[in-house]
Amino acid sequence: MVTDNGNYIIDYMPRARVNVEDLERVIKELPGVVEVGVFSGKRVSRVIIGRVDGSTVTMD
């Protein structure tokens, strides 16, 4: 997916358990990465998921 600013959004799901804090750090160190949205559970209290039909699901 490409944002309106021309940035790519990549959805990644590891096949094995990983340390999400380390994963976030490694991704942020990659050249060209603007931001990451790694949901470690420690800093997130709500997740809003957008669906193809335009509806959303909120998880508290």
pLDDT reported for residue 21:
84
pLDDT reported for residue 58:
93
Of the listed ranges 8-12, 15-19, 40-44, the one predicted with least confidence: 40-44
Q: Is the pTM of this model over 0.75?
A: no
Coil vs helix vs strand at 34? coil
Residue 34 has pLDDT above 90, yes or no: no
Which position has the higher pLDDT, 36 or 44? 36
Residue 25 near residue 10 (C-beta atoms within 8 A):
no
pLDDT reported for residue 24:
87
Residues 6 or more apart whose CB falls under 8 angstroms from that of 23 comprise 14, 38
